[in-house]
Structure 1
Amino acid sequence: MTQLGTTTALPSLQDLLDPRNQADPYPLYSRWRAQAPLARLDDRLMVLTRYEDCAAVLRDGRFGHPEADDPRFAGRRPSLDVLVDEDGRPVRGFLGLNPPDHTRMRALVAQAFTRRRVERLAPRIEELADELFTAMERTPGPVDLIEGLATPLPVAVISELLGVPTEDRHRMLTWSHAVARALVPDFLLPPGAAEQEARARREFTDYLRELVVERRRAPGDDLLSALVTVHDDGDALTENELLATCTLLLIAGHETTVNLIGNGTLALLRHPDQLARLRSDPALTDNAVEELLRYDSPVQLTVRFALQDAEVAGVPVPAGSTLLLLIGAANRDPAAYDHPERLDIGRTPLRHLAFGQGIHFCLGAPLARLETQIALRMLLARAPQVRLADEPEWKDHITLRGLSRLPLSLG
């Protein structure tokens, strides 16, 4: 492993996968960022940990996503392809596309998935959160926030957005957990995970095909109906593009929000001064969510590929290189933030990479923010004595950082 040509004793990719580092990977990131912010693991793989470097790559059109048959990236790209067109070519959601295909497809989706549509969801999200919280209040003893609120709330919201019947929500949850593995690069997946993810993706798309037929016959007021009918100068989403988009929305609309609610709640409980500050000034909630996104990001890493010869911070990056961007490290870069290890819900100005940057900035960011704001306000208002009841447990996922269990006493 080298940094600017200098051999350095640093953590390895296996350290990122080590369960012992799941509870707190940030000391590992700090070592990496301080000793070798541009670490070349081999001739084709680099790891980036600084804010400015990661942000620059995310904005730079020379870095993107390779075609499925590009031999330079065999076995290194995320597992994003299951659907194929009539010519046998993989069909991807716009997350895995470059311009002009990305531009066309995202523009079509953005017409349906508007900020206004998200804002209209607020009363319904509050109603769903109230039902879930009431059920937790009636539970004797400690409750698990992940099971009781953080997981069912986003899955209910994305299910209603897509027009999925209530009785099928448990299937959405199973599919979402498996399909989220698609965000992990192939070379970091545990054995068998790619096959499990592909099987879940096929089951989900088969299910969606039936819903699409129904929405074409009788459109409703849901997002799926809007995606079915959206068009621009005669252009429209093909059925496979629609299915790939819904698969992406399942991950973005569920998994990341579950993690944001869980991680954010845990961070506040471990910083009672900030918890008390937020409780005394609920107007800070929106800013607090941004700081929680920075402090313990639901998305810890992303991958970009050098589609042509480029450079990062003056370091040459040959075409064909794979760049692993450690978002969790970049969001605690002392060059970008004062006291980055400190949680400060009043931090301004506040910028982070939790939702990405550039053309691939997360389309579902407003929805994730809204759900988390509503969940935190309800928790603080209805559980003024909330505290940890036991040690939390973390999911085994290198890309999406989140809790599998967060035991709370609601007081």
Structure 2
Amino acid sequence: MNEHVQTATSEPLFNPLSPEFIRNPYPHYAKMRATDPVHLTPLGVYVASRHAEASLVIRDKRFGKEHVERTIRRYGPKIMEEPAFRSLGLMMLQQDPPDHTRLRGLVVKAFTARRIEDMRPRIQQIVDETLDRIIPQGRMDLIEDFAFRLPVTVICDMLGIPEEHREAFYTRARVGGRILDPVPLSPEEIKQANEGTLISEMYFQQLFELRRKQPGDDLTTQLVQAEEDGHKLSNEELTANIILLFGAGHETTVNLIGNGLLALHRNPDQLALLKARPELITNAIEEFLRYDSSVQLTGRVALEDIDDLGGRKIPKGETVLCLLGSANHDPAVYPDHPERLDITRPNVKPLSFGGGIHFCLGAQLARIEAEIALATLLRRIPDLRLDDAVNPEWRPTFVLRGLKHLPASW
């Protein structure tokens, strides 16, 4: 029997929401790379697990997003009437040129390398103030009390969210993320996603009014002014993309910090090495991104017939899901024990921030936030220990890979 054929009774090769898969997807990825690197799932989408194919798809202009068409194929035409899906469809993350080019052009100036570097003192201040408050307690949840608070504060600063409004953002439950997963949402999950979207839309509409009356040196003011130009941004696009900037501005960084801390404590030799040689932190961040990526998957649609992708023909209009987490462990690119954490690993170039025109705008900001957060934490609480590094609680999402809680004490 062909090893690529999946029998009706066998375990699916790609089952991303199973508890076992969420706990540790990497053995499953290794099996996919070895047996069926461009796997056709029962949902009718292709999954690329090797670095070569994933890297090609996210950069090649023969592939695009076609988000609305893809979503309608999965859920039916009425789905775009749901607030959460309508908002998602207007985000630059899901757009193809020329709309993507126009929307990204409006915000890219806020993310230049110079502006991000200039934020280092503010990031250090937030980390120190957070630790000043927490250290006397002798314990914390590294996700809620530390990893979450830093990037939320930074993105609130960038968006000009007033100080007196921020407590609601710090205490908000992290329930998003499932809408991005390749497994369709249940009616109850759609309802929850809609509620979250409507609450966000209501808040940001109030913020737009505030920034029209009281302009500031922030991204929201910049986008409100672009909307007033009329042809650059509609009100719906403005709202959707502010929601995107807020979500993307903290989600991946929270997970990068949390996943990195867990990886270090599961690999005490690497933790000891980083404490002894703190100058390794920049390379360590790249290795954390590779080793356990905050973003595991991104999707594209074939805009024309593709004759050969890893030995498969991909017809025009078909979806290819690129497993970034799997590509980051591909021995063809990382021949020296890719399943091992090695903060001295040379030439680490993870695909965790995507590629091509959709390469993550905030990649450098996320790196700097994680670098300062982890270096400061290890310096100021050298005897920090995790309460449970063996069976931590993962969020029940696949595309955005992160921990729900990570209790620690010292």
The answer to whether the superposition gives a TM-score over 0.5 is yes
The verdict on how the C-alpha distance between 1:334 and 1:70 changes in structure 2, with shifts beyond 3 A counting, is closer
Supply the AA of the counterpart residue of 1:120: D
Deviation, structure 1 residue 241: 2.0
Deviation, structure 1 residue 406: 1.2
Deviation, structure 1 residue 179: 4.0
Supply the AA of the counterpart residue of 1:352: P
- Give the equivalent residue in structure 2 for 1:157: 154
- Give the equivalent residue in structure 2 for 1:94: 92
The verdict on how the C-alpha distance between 1:261 and 1:57 changes in structure 2, with shifts beyond 3 A counting, is same
Alpha-carbon contact 1:294-1:332 (below 8 Å) kept: yes
| CA offsets 1:167-207 (integer angstroms, 9 cap, x no match) | 4334335767344333224x343552222112211221121
Q: 2:293 aligns with which of 280, 293, 297?
A: 297
Q: 1:376 aligns with which of 361, 374, 377?
A: 374
- Give the equivalent residue in structure 2 for 1:284: 280
1:180 aligns with 2:174: no
Question: In structure 1, the residue corresponding to 2:313 is in which secondary structure?
Answer: strand
Supply the AA of the counterpart residue of 2:90: R
Question: In structure 1, the residue corresponding to 2:360 is in which secondary structure?
Answer: coil
Moved more, 40-49 or 102-111: 40-49
The verdict on how the C-alpha distance between 1:291 and 1:67 changes in structure 2, with shifts beyond 3 A counting, is closer
Alpha-carbon contact 2:14-2:41 (below 8 Å) kept: no
The verdict on how the C-alpha distance between 1:380 and 1:43 changes in structure 2, with shifts beyond 3 A counting, is closer
| CA offsets 1:372-392 (integer angstroms, 9 cap, x no match) | 011111111111222222242
Distance 1:280 1:89 in 2: 47
- Give the equivalent residue in structure 2 for 1:346: 344
| CA offsets 1:202-228 (integer angstroms, 9 cap, x no match) | 221121111112212221122212233
Question: In structure 1, the residue corresponding to 2:28 is in which secondary structure?
Answer: helix
- Give the equivalent residue in structure 2 for 1:263: 259
Distance 1:70 1:225 in 2: 33
Question: In structure 2, the residue corresponding to 1:143 is in which secondary structure?
Answer: strand
Q: 1:132 aligns with which of 130, 144, 156?
A: 130
Supply the AA of the counterpart residue of 2:220: L
Deviation, structure 1 residue 134: 1.8
Distance 2:88 2:242 in 1: 16
RMSD between superposed Cα atoms in Å: 2.9
- Give the equivalent residue in structure 2 for 1:252: 248
Distance 1:272 1:105 in 2: 44
1:224 aligns with 2:223: no
Distance 2:130 2:290 in 1: 27
The verdict on how the C-alpha distance between 1:190 and 1:12 changes in structure 2, with shifts beyond 3 A counting, is farther
Alpha-carbon contact 1:82-1:91 (below 8 Å) kept: no
The verdict on how the C-alpha distance between 1:2 and 1:214 changes in structure 2, with shifts beyond 3 A counting, is farther
Deviation, structure 1 residue 367: 1.4
1:308-319 mapped onto 2 (5 Å cutoff): 308-310=304-306, 311-319=308-316
Moved more, 44-53 or 256-265: 44-53
Unaligned runs of 5+ in 1: none
Alpha-carbon contact 2:284-2:343 (below 8 Å) kept: yes
Deviation, structure 1 residue 22: 2.4
Alpha-carbon contact 1:29-1:49 (below 8 Å) kept: yes
1:63 aligns with 2:47: no
Q: Output the TM-score relative to the length of structure 2.
A: 0.89
Distance 2:309 2:133 in 1: 51
Deviation, structure 1 residue 72: 7.3
Distance 1:70 1:23 in 2: 28
Deviation, structure 1 residue 404: 1.1
1:39 aligns with 2:36: no
- Give the equivalent residue in structure 2 for 1:329: 326
- Number of equivalences: 402
Supply the AA of the counterpart residue of 1:172: F
- Give the equivalent residue in structure 1 for 2:233: 237
Alpha-carbon contact 1:81-1:91 (below 8 Å) kept: no
- Give the equivalent residue in structure 2 for 1:48: 48
The verdict on how the C-alpha distance between 1:388 and 1:324 changes in structure 2, with shifts beyond 3 A counting, is same
Give % identity: 45
Alpha-carbon contact 1:2-1:36 (below 8 Å) kept: no
1:11-26 mapped onto 2 (5 Å cutoff): 11-12=11-12, 15-26=15-26
Deviation, structure 1 residue 14: 6.9
Which has a greater percent of helix? 2
Supply the AA of the counterpart residue of 2:315: P
The verdict on how the C-alpha distance between 1:90 and 1:407 changes in structure 2, with shifts beyond 3 A counting, is closer
Distance 2:194 2:13 in 1: 24
Alpha-carbon contact 2:179-2:185 (below 8 Å) kept: no
Q: Output the TM-score relative to the length of structure 1.
A: 0.89
- Give the equivalent residue in structure 1 for 2:118: 120
Alpha-carbon contact 2:13-2:28 (below 8 Å) kept: no
Alpha-carbon contact 1:290-1:350 (below 8 Å) kept: yes
